[in-house]
Amino acid sequence: MSTSSQLNASRQGTGKPLLLIHGLGATWETWRPIMNDLSRSRDVIAIDLPGFGDSAPLEGEPSIAALTDSVEEFIRSEGLEGIDTVGSSMGARIVLELARRGIGGDTVALDPGGFWSEGERRIFSASLKASIPLILRLQPLLPALLGNPAGRTALLIQFSAAPWRLTKEFTVRELRAFAQATALKRTLSALVSGPLQEGAPAGTPPGRVTIGWGKQDRVTFPRQAARAQEKFPDARLHWFRRCGHFPVWDQPEETAQLILSRTG
């Protein structure tokens, strides 16, 4: 599905529309583990953000504000006003920003960034600026490295609570997306140098807000959840046990159930 707002998207299912927004380095395909479960009762629209997957990069700085502007334009150009939104990682921050602006319907944000302390921001920046170049250098070796549990654990322990349980096919596709992302480095730079996420006073979001967090998140630490809830006092906090930074990876069934129960 190509769109008038220049964002590539995949669409499947019937029912009330549901917008899915991926994180840094990913594409719409990161949602594959839960797409079928969601699309049984929802019209699921999963987009590629600018500079990721098959979407062209922005001309200016790919800041959270600019990326959110592009999603807001997509929503309006496709006639999706009031759509429920779900985001992962950087995408989770984008759906919270949409809610802060009064855009969309119900919101589910999975392990969002932007709620770190200064020290945590430095750790986030240093860790990703080390791991992402490694992933890019290892592209030719990914099928071999990710073909066994030990290799998946070595490469993905920062992101998953149980990387050995993930499949070779899924993890190769996820890490291949980093090499495809034309705006990866610019977006990471804008992300770590940009402002903290602003909040939404009680009663101002357009629908229910749910923030999900992995108990073993080594990217956006679980203690940041309290700051997110302070800035979004209407939000309901859901903890994923035995889960790292990506609930879609580690707890796909629970993630789909949370989304379906907290949207629509």
Using the predicted structure, report yes or no on whether residue 3 has a pLDDT greater than 50. Answer: no
Mutual angle of helices 168-180 and 149-156, in 10-degree steps: 40
* Mean pLDDT of the region 107-131: 97
The 10s digit of each residue's pLDDT in 53-103 is 999 999 999 999 999 999 999 999 999 999 999 999 999 999 999 999 999
**One-letter amino acid of 253:** E
pLDDT in the model for residue 2 = 40
Q: Quick one: which of 106, 121, 96, 89 has its CA closest to 22?
A: 89
Whole-angstrom distance, CA of residue 219 vs CA of residue 128 = 9
Domain positions in the chain: 9-262
Q: Is the pLDDT of residue 164 over 80?
A: yes
d(CA 264, CA 257): 12
Calculate mean pLDDT across residues 110-129: 97
As a whole number, the mean pLDDT across the chain is: 97
CA distance 258 to 42: 14
The percent of residues above 70 in pLDDT, for the chain, comes to 98
pLDDT in tens, 221-255: 999 999 999 999 999 999 999 999 999 999 999 99
What is the DSSP code string of the chain?
A: ---TTS--EEEE--SEEEEEE--TT--GGGGHHHHHHHHTTEEEEEEPPTTSTTSPPPSS---HHHHHHHHHHHHHHTT-TT-EEEEETHHHHHHHHHHHHT-SSSEEEES-SS---HHHHHHHHHHHHHHHHHHHHTGGGHHHHTTSHHHHHHHHTTT-S-GGGS-HHHHHHHHHHHHH-TTHHHHHHHHHHSPPPP---TT-SSS-EEEEEETT-SSS-TTHHHHHHHHSTTPEEEEESS--S-HHHH-HHHHHHHHHHH--
CATH class, range 9-262: alpha beta
Kindly report, residue by residue over 35-54, the tens digit of the pLDDT.
999 999 999 999 999 999 99
Separation CA 39–CA 187 (nearest Å)? 30
Report the pLDDT value the prediction gives residue 6, as an integer from 0 to 100: 85
